[in-house]
């Protein structure tokens, strides 16, 4: 039954992307309304799916690559509809929806079996740590799309630039909370706040890049394409932290281990 909600959410996500893409080329009031309706349906369906999986597993569904991708796609959808309603910059919507759809599509290819948690993961810190990280990841994904478009656009779009800055500041806050909560959790589980595990190291690298972005913007006045390049580099580091560490490096945080 729960898989039905996942499949319906994927379909709604896809339709949202299609209508957002159509809104780029056709002036029609129905298209953005339809896109928002379907992305809201996807958020609703994914929320039910996560809730049912939580009920079945008797734990937060946040402990493997499949579960994390579902939460990632869910968080991207929430940020997408928020940014759409607040800023109404339609050029970023379709690409953001595509990235969320890719995350959900990749999740559908993975093993969905519910496995028991290892003892160190049986902690309330799991929910706080993973959720704060993925809220930050979702925000930084939207900022990446905005920055990527900034790099390809001729001239400077002040709306895109300002939106990127605000979203990165928000994402950076949650990334910081994720690292702090992870450190506290590590200390309670393994007796050390920081162990230089590959994911810990790359999380710090990602954090430093976005800290440089905020510093360069606030203190050096970097805007437009210069700031956008830092945002793109930060996103690449974030993606490696999420996927690269899991598949290429061995550590406590590797989902494939």
* 81-92 per-position pLDDT tens digit: 999 999 888 889
Report, as an integer, the average pLDDT of 112-124: 77
Q: Which of 4, 111, 109, 117 lies closest to 57 in space, CA to CA?
A: 117
Mean pLDDT is lowest, of 20-29, 181-190, 230-239, for 181-190
Distance between CA atoms of 133 and 243, rounded to whole angstroms?
14
Binned at pLDDT 50, 70 and 90, residue 254 comes out as low
Please write the tens of the pLDDT for every residue from 65-76: 999 999 999 999
Counting residues of the chain whose pLDDT is more than 70, the rounded percentage is 94
Residue 205 is predicted with a pLDDT of: 96
Residue 250 is predicted with a pLDDT of: 64
Residue entry with tokens 């299609």: 18
Distance between CA atoms of 25 and 17, rounded to whole angstroms?
13
Does 255 have pLDDT greater than 60?
A: no
Q: Where are the domains of the chain?
A: 1-112, 119-257
Find the largest Cα–Cα distance for the chain. Answer: 59
Mean pLDDT, the chain, as a whole number? 89
Residue 163 is predicted with a pLDDT of: 92
Distance between CA atoms of 244 and 140, rounded to whole angstroms?
17
Distance between CA atoms of 42 and 78, rounded to whole angstroms?
9
Residue 257 is predicted with a pLDDT of: 43
* Cα–Cα separations (whole angstroms), residue 32 to 22, 27, 53, 81, 103: 9, 10, 31, 10, 22
pTM of this prediction? Answer: 0.91
Please write the tens of the pLDDT for every residue from 38-61: 999 999 999 999 999 999 888 888
Residue 256 is predicted with a pLDDT of: 44
Please write the tens of the pLDDT for every residue from 221-233: 888 899 999 999 9
H/E segment holding residue 108: helix 93-108
Cβ 112 vs Cβ 65: under 8 Å: no
Question: How many angstroms from the chain centroid is the CA of residue 140?
Answer: 7
Instruction: Work out the end-to-end distance of the chain between its first and last CA atoms, rounded to an integer number of angstroms.
Output: 29
Cβ 45 vs Cβ 8: under 8 Å: yes
């Amino acid at each position: 039954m729960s898989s039905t909600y996942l499949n319906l959410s994927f379909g709604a996500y896809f339709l949202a992307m299609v209508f957002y893409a159509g809104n780029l080329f056709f002036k029609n009031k129905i298209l953005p309304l339809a896109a928002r309706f379907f992305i809201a349906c996807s958020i609703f369906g994914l929320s039910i799916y996560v809730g049912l999986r939580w009920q079945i597993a008797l734990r937060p569904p946040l402990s493997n690559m499949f579960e994390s991708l579902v939460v990632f796609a869910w968080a991207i959808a929430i940020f997408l509809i928020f940014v759409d309603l607040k800023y109404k910059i339609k050029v970023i919507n379709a690409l953001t929806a595509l990235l969320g759809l890719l995350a959900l599509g990749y999740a559908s290819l993975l093993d969905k079996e519910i496995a028991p948690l290892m003892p160190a993961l049986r902690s309330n810190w799991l929910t706080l740590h993973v959720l704060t990280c993925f809220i930050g990841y979702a925000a930084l994904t939207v900022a990446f799309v905005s920055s990527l478009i900034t790099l390809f656009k001729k001239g400077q779009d002040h709306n895109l630039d300002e939106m990127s800055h605000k979203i990165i500041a928000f994402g950076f806050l949650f990334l910081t909370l994720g690292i702090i909560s992870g450190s506290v959790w590590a200390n309670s589980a393994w007796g050390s706040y920081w162990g230089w595990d590959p994911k810990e190291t790359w999380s710090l690298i990602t954090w430093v890049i976005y800290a440089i972005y905020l510093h360069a913007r606030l203190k050096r006045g970097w805007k437009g394409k210069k700031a956008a390049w830092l945002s793109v580099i930060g996103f690449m580091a974030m993606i490696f932290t999420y996927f690269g560490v899991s598949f290429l490096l061995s550590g406590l945080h590797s989902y494939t281990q």
